[in-house]
Structure 1
């Protein structure tokens, strides 16, 4: 007959397996009732699965920074509204499919903030994708060449949170304009998008280029979004 350890391992109940071994090593199982021991094992299994899911989601997102909400310096002088960040950390914007627009000068912590919000979403069990805008558009070009672009667009559309970083570093070509519009249209009112840019939102029309497409994209992003404008010197310069 297989031991309890062997059965837990075979059934891939990692959290229960680890907890059972600890209980055996400390001989705590002798001091617990059946229901108490079972409760501890089930809780350990639940926590283990939550942690493993978070790690899977975090790795799949490919964040620029490994940051968390707890690491943010909620300094009002830098444009960090503590009440807004606290509200966003709850994740209600994700349920409503609302967007977040983060702007500010180079090095002021925009990408760090976006990564922290993304990590928080992963901790809440949400699927997140993090892209630099240029790398995203190149990936779409390559996907069109090998015929996988529908699969890529479907993947992007199904993400609970899409983070597009470094928006506005260069003007968009026509194909890039159309691809971005399709991405935003697919997600509008359904899933959340975070756009990170050095440029103020008023300059985004010029970056997108085509007025009609710019209107279509920004109309879906701007009016129902949370806006965070970071201020101050470059944090990299200070470091």
Structure 2
């Protein structure tokens, strides 16, 4: 028996190893045929790999909140359309490279919703990155200074879903405009982007600043986007 357990370990079949030990300890292996036992072990290994991948993806994403779709408040007065969220939860927008634009006042749950959609994407095997917009643009600036910008921009482009939170808290300077344009251009029609902002989309032109660049960025984001406008008073106040 130890030989089998050692082989599971050597082959890094963690799910099989744990389930095999459980079957041995409970002596349930006597009740299973060879085919049934093999199926149990294979299912356990598949589930273990899925769980470990999900853990890696969520750790890499660095979400602001550990949120799930099931935890969302679907009160219609908040502006959340249950059908729309259900559709987004299927991940269809990810396959099409579509954007999700979430707007609403401070504390109304934009970041929580963005995090929940991100977690759902991770559970479906998608690579997700979550950033505060200003911190992201600060990182792009630093990456240009230390020469790592190509690698950093490639990392952003490879993410199946990029979440930009707190967009529009300050106006963008020329380099930030160009960096944001490059990020959005790399993702256009290929990968999805979620943007959460206190400001309505119509105000984003002013925040971006340069009309030509603003037109180019918003043209790539808005036309195929899913729009969610959250309403109601701050959830933080209620808490």
For normalisation by structure 2, the TM-score amounts to 0.99
The reply to whether residue 31 of structure 1 matches residue 31 of structure 2 is: yes
Using the alignment, how far apart are the partners of 2:47 and 2:186 within structure 1?
34
- 3-state SS of 1:3 partner: helix
Using the alignment, how far apart are the partners of 2:28 and 2:176 within structure 1?
61
Using the alignment, how far apart are the partners of 1:181 and 1:161 within structure 2?
16
Using the alignment, how far apart are the partners of 2:27 and 2:64 within structure 1?
44
The reply to whether residue 123 of structure 1 matches residue 123 of structure 2 is: yes
1:2 shift after superposition: 5.4
- Gaps (5+ residues) in structure 2? none
- Which residue does 1:207 correspond to in 2? 207
1:74 shift after superposition: 1.1
CA RMSD of aligned residues (A): 0.8
1:184 shift after superposition: 0.5
The within-5 A match list for 1:1-239 is: 3-239=3-239
- 3-state SS of 1:102 partner: strand
Give runs of ≥4 in structure 1 deviating > 4 Å: none
Using the alignment, how far apart are the partners of 2:204 and 2:73 within structure 1?
28
Per-residue Cα deviation, 1:162-200 (whole angstroms, up to 9, x for no partner):
000000000001100000001001100110000000000
Using the alignment, how far apart are the partners of 1:145 and 1:211 within structure 2?
27
Per-residue Cα deviation, 1:116-163 (whole angstroms, up to 9, x for no partner):
000000000000000001110111111111110000000101110000
* Number of matched pairs: 239
1:205 shift after superposition: 0.5
- Gaps (5+ residues) in structure 1? none
Per-residue Cα deviation, 1:11-67 (whole angstroms, up to 9, x for no partner):
110000000011011100011100000000000000000000000000000100000
Using the alignment, how far apart are the partners of 2:213 and 2:195 within structure 1?
17
1:75 shift after superposition: 1.4
1:10 shift after superposition: 1.3
1:107 shift after superposition: 0.4
For normalisation by structure 1, the TM-score amounts to 0.99
